[in-house]
Structure 1
Amino acid sequence: MLLVVFADGEVLTGLDLTGAVPAAAPVDALDIRLHRHADSPEWVDGFRSGPLRSLAERELPDVRRLDDATCCYSIQVRVPDPADLTHLQLAWAVATAAARSGATAVLDVFAHDWSPGPAVGVLDPYRPFTVLREISVVAESEPAPGFGHAVHTRGMIKFGRPDLIMGVPESGIGEAAQILNQLAAMLADGHVLHPGRRLRVDGSRSLTVVPYEPGDRIPDVRLIGDGLLITDDSPR
């Protein structure tokens, strides 16, 4: 789990998570670091430029506040094979504390998802944690020859699982997103998909799990971590 929290100054002083996380939360795995723009301009700006900036312009109400931030915090929790979602609750609790102290924007790095600081600041620490709120399902706008539009998850690494990708025609994007959401929920619940696994969807669709290996025919969507390609073997 990796969150990057932007602020106009140091806001995480005297952090107190009492009552905000369960006793089983892996506090020993929590790594919080302050990154001042004056000391590490390329590192800080790397999260608010390029594709991530394009997302920020769509998802934040005022991207100028992101530009004005003089520092950011990285909030990381490393759990190799999480048995539950307390590591997510822990990371978000720290981000919420920062937001309540004035942080302006929060980036969920693995899911490629921005949230305004005020919205994070009012999050209930005991809200249900669901996979659909922790990942993104992305449809690439340009089709790849012989593959179609790449529809894929981002953020499954937070559950210790690979991201999932399908190649579909434009007309199949919505259905592919639904399938990936269902599979992602299954993986987040502890299930595992191995290459060679065959799946039945809606009683008629036949899908096969294969390794995701970008190449001449399969586009590189720059996943963070491993990926699995879901191919459709149903008769056309």
Structure 2
Amino acid sequence: MLVVFTGGEVMTGLDLAGAVPATAPVDALDVRLHHYADTPEWIDGWRTGPLRNLAERELPDPAALDAATSCYTIQLTVTDPDDLTHLQLAWAVAAEVCRAGAVAVLDAYAHDWYPAAVVAGLDPHRPFTVMREISVVAESDVVPGFGHPVHTRGMAKFGRPDLITGIAGEQIGEAATILNQLAGLLAEGHVLTPGQQIRVGESRTLTVVPYVPDDRIPDVGLIADGLLLTEA
């Protein structure tokens, strides 16, 4: 789901000719306009709290986000798709809304903000890059017995669980690289299963286990299921 903030109803039609392939699941597309006067708490929930902190860092003019009086939600629900045209379709619709007069776009699963001008200028034929669809987050607080939580956000867009690991501060960069590489494989159709082991370099082996927050394993607020990568 993408949330596109606007100053009211800006889109009067939708022309996706040349922007998405014929196999894109148009029947699964759900585009809705929400007015602030009707659902103020719901709309503010997208632009306050932690998401607001991200907007402050990722948008050139957060004040324009505050001034938005409406938003469009662009949502697709697909079951075991053969390709990623559902993502291509969602971004193509968002680009149309942005060209019509939006101010900002939130990728609801990845927790990423984009200025409307950036989305409006997306090349519909750009190559797929997993880092444009997910986030890799390194939490700043150290959890005793676990380390710094480093995890993905947004893998539900591929029908895959998010990945999380706990690591020492000096290993955050390496962990983020590993998660990015694994996320790319999952997005392309690969599967990780509990009990599976992953060789990292010459001396490290990670074991895949279900992610179940408890007294030792922190809850990082994943939207869907997760897999924990632990040192074997």
**Fold agreement, TM-score > 0.5:** yes
Q: Tell me the residue number matched to 1:54.
A: 53
Q: Tell me the residue number matched to 2:141.
A: 142
Q: Distance in 2 between matches of 1:46 and 1:17?
A: 30
Shifted more, 21-30 versus 202-211: the winner is 202-211
Q: Provide the aligned length of Structure 1 versus Structure 2.
A: 232
**Structure 2: any 5+ residue segments left out of the alignment?**
none
Q: Distance in 2 between matches of 1:83 and 1:143?
A: 39
Q: Tell me the residue number matched to 1:16.
A: 15
Q: Distance in 2 between matches of 1:62 and 1:208?
A: 43
* Alignment map for 1:25-40 (pairs within 5 Å): 25-40=24-39
* CA shift for structure 1 position 108: 0.3
* Alignment map for 1:146-165 (pairs within 5 Å): 146-165=145-164
Provide the alpha-carbon RMSD of the alignment: 0.7
Q: 1:40 to 1:219 in 2, by over 3 A?
A: same
Q: Tell me the residue number matched to 1:184.
A: 183
Percent identity (aligned): 70
Q: Tell me the residue number matched to 1:207.
A: 206
Q: Any idea what the Cα deviations from partners look like across 1:85-124, whole Å, max 9, x if unmatched? A: 1000000000000000110000001000000001111111
**Structure 1: any 5+ residue segments left out of the alignment?**
none
- After TM superposition, the runs of 4+ consecutive aligned structure 1 residues lying more than 4 A away are none
Q: Tell me the residue number matched to 2:215.
A: 216
* CA shift for structure 1 position 82: 2.3
Q: Distance in 2 between matches of 1:70 and 1:229?
A: 40
Q: Distance in 1 between matches of 2:142 and 2:165?
A: 12
Q: Distance in 2 between matches of 1:105 and 1:184?
A: 26
- What is the SS of the residue equivalent to 1:104? strand
TM-score under structure 1 length normalisation:
0.97
* CA shift for structure 1 position 207: 0.6
TM-score under structure 2 length normalisation:
0.99
Q: Tell me the residue number matched to 2:224.
A: 225
Q: Distance in 1 between matches of 2:217 and 2:228?
A: 9
Q: Any idea what the Cα deviations from partners look like across 1:187-230, whole Å, max 9, x if unmatched? A: 01100001000111113211100000001000000001100000
* CA shift for structure 1 position 80: 2.3
